[in-house]
Amino acid sequence: MLFEGFDLVSALATFAACLVSVTLLLAVSQQLWQLRWAATRDKSCKLPIPKGSMGFPLIGETGHWLLQGSGFQSSRREKYGNVFKTHLLGRPLIRVTGAENVRKILMGEHHLVSTEWPRSTRMLLGPNTVANSIGDVHRNKRKVFSKIFSHEALESYLPKIQLVIQDTLRAWSSNPDAINVYQEAQKLTFHMAIRVLLGFSIPEEDLTHLFEVYQQFVENVFSLPVDLPFSGYRRGIQARHTLQKGLEKAIREKLQSTQGKDYADALDILIESSKEHGKEMTMQELKDGTLELIFAAYATTASASTSLIMQLLKHPNVLEKLREELRANGLLHNGCVCEGALRLDTLVGLRYLDCVIKEVMRLFTPISGGYRTVLQTFELDGFQIPKGWSVMYSIRDTHDTAPVFKDVDVFDPERFSQARSEDKDGRFHYLPFGGGVRTCLGKHLAKLFLKVLAVELASTSRFELASRTFPRITLVPVLHPVDGLSVKFFGLDSNQNKILTETEAMLGATV
């Protein structure tokens, strides 16, 4: 018994010694990790590096960022200020909030900073994308892609977008069960990108499979760039390979097709625009270009669409004001939009609708911000931003802290009305689509889609929350409800403006 007692004490002592050793090792390694990045400061500049934590060796604060969501940025901003350092997705990073700070970064493109997304994002999107290009290559690519989003192009997309949205809302209304709005919005924007923007005639079964693969791709675009079996990055690479094969097949079939169409889709315009600028695109460039177009039209628009529906549910008075505006402009009769009445210029003239979309994008900006790499050391808010570091300007936090917005947490479309125009004092207080030379090329298409969705919701649907409470919001990879948004949709009889029974709605959807 005595020896057994000694064995137990010895085992406990060994365990305690190991625990202390591991703790000391972690503490020392973390301290060395902090010193390693402190040593990268530009010694020719007397200003200090921003305050902050670099987290644990190699992984940095990536785990905290994924788990805390919106709380990550706000908690560190409160502790360290509007400019602080961290380590995310395998890179040292300085996160920046505030209109003046953001202005300096966005206007410093090509001489102070240059675009550089996290390695996982760069590799998965591909080298031939607008997002990953710099300098003259970037300028030339923007010229080629800009025609896709011209006024004439948007006008030609509009009837097709409206038709896709109408079909989708009819399907939602005919479903006897509540739907997960975020999941369905993803399907809607993906189908819109494939069918309307790219003009692909992909069989429904293949399209469903392609959508599932694309979801896997998007889920891993922002992942640790560790290429190991079962890692998110490896799953993203596999998804990209599958997508590229499917896109190449669709592109080749489209190029060989002799069937005429009543409009030029984005891929048609892209191919013709590249020829006009003296460079015919290779198949790899076309694949990367179409993948980037889907990416641009998919995740952020699905996020904003879900936020729009959620706010209309929370604020029925806003929905009623939208209906009043449609009636006042002669667009809404007997519960539906007059056929052929929805044109681009008409949508631009709907002022309150524009205010609603702006407020959704202010309070629920789909992406957190944009990444840059520092070309030369510069000063920001009393700190040095060292050459070679990554810097991320925060859109959402700049909106949240902008002094020009009153009652910043309140959903109030009227703040953008002509009478108030809270965003008129400085363009960098409000930047849901970024700014400078890298302003989002597809912003007008995104706003067009959201406006058509809002008009169709206001004119043809009744919908109600199917859960007791509204869901929590997460920010990764884009802002969206954690468990989706459960909503029951009902059809409206366009003649009597009454709620249809489920059977009537199903019959009406087949007419």
One-letter-per-residue 3-state SS of 207-274 = HHHHHHHHHHHHHCCCCCCCCCCCCHHHHHHHHHHHHHHHHHHHHHHHHHCCCCCCCCCHHHHHHHHH
Q: Which numeric CATH code is attached to 135-510?
A: 1.10.630.10
Q: Which amino acid is at 96?
A: V
What 8-state DSSP symbol labels residue 196?
I
pTM over 0.95: no
Q: Is 336 annotated as a binding residue?
A: no
| 44-61 confidence digits (pLDDT tens) | 999 999 999 998 888 889
Domain ranges in the chain?
A: 135-510
Q: Is 135 left (phi over 0), alpha (psi -120 to 50) or beta?
A: left
- Reported in sequence order, the residue ranges of 331-471 that DSSP labels E, i.e. its strands, are 332-333, 336-337, 369-374, 378-380, 383-385, 390-394, 461-465
Distances (CA, A) of 190 to 30, 48, 195, 301: 43, 46, 9, 10
pLDDT at residue 504, as a whole number: 36
The candidate with the shortest Cα–Cα distance to 188, out of 443, 452, 464, 434, is 452
The count of C-alpha atoms lying within 13 angstroms of the C-alpha of 243, restricted to the half-sphere facing its C-beta, is 28
Please, are residues 330 and 350 in contact by the beta-carbon 8 Å criterion?
Answer: no
**Which contiguous run of DSSP H or E holds residue 139?**
helix 135-146
Please, are residues 479 and 161 in contact by the beta-carbon 8 Å criterion?
Answer: no
Q: Which amino acid is at 48?
A: P
Please state at what angle helix 204-219 crosses helix 181-191, rounded to 10 degrees.
110
Please, are residues 248 and 235 in contact by the beta-carbon 8 Å criterion?
Answer: no
The residues of the chain scoring below 70 in pLDDT are 1-6, 258-260, 333-336, 338-340, 492-511
Please, are residues 305 and 453 in contact by the beta-carbon 8 Å criterion?
Answer: yes
pLDDT at residue 258, as a whole number: 59
The candidate with the shortest Cα–Cα distance to 456, out of 184, 168, 151, is 168
